[in-house]
Amino acid sequence: MSNELFLRRKWTFKAHGSQVVMIKRPVESSEHVMMKALIWALYLPNYPEARVETPIGLRYKPDVIALDCQGLPSFWGEAGHVGMDKLETLLKRYRHTHFVFAKWDSNLEALAQVVSELTSSIKRSAPIDLLSIPADSGERFFGADGTITVEHSQINYRRLMQP
């Protein structure tokens, strides 16, 4: 990804024939914006209606979301730090929602253990994916024009639950 893009406030990304515009807030890191974009691009083939940073009228605002025909979350992506209260609430309340939690260049073991403990006593029908986004993602997955080219096999990816 070019240095020019890092300086902009509005970032435009393209993947799978779709486009999304993200506004980088002054307090938001470039890595956080890239994680949201990568979640969107990785899961867009399965959730073509996925949107980024869209409030859905709930207490918590997702980084990436797709709603089913009843307006309930079928897919929910979170980039970066997620507090324990939010994590527990989401996993217990939305048992039919496919969750993705992405971390920047991190070991996923601690997060996997926390998620496993939180979900051990509940019945879920959708998977939970953990992603460790490589530190060189800007250069590897983003073209100069904002085109994202990435597959699960190119990142540290772990699916905790099979539906």
Find the helix or strand (DSSP H, E) in which 12 lies: strand 10-15
* Per-residue model confidence (pLDDT) at position 163: 54
* Per-residue model confidence (pLDDT) at position 58: 80
Could you identify the residue written with the tokens 């897919």?
75
Give the residue-averaged pLDDT of 52-79. Answer: 93
What are the boundaries of each domain within the chain?
3-159
122-156 tens-digit pLDDT: 899 999 999 999 999 999 999 999 999 999 999 99
Alpha helices in 18-95 (DSSP H): 30-43, 84-93
Residues in the chain: 163
22-56 tens-digit pLDDT: 988 889 999 999 999 999 999 999 999 999 998 88
Q: What is the pTM of this model?
A: 0.92
β pairing state of 18-23 and 64-67? unpaired
Determine the CATH number of domain 3-159: 3.10.640.10
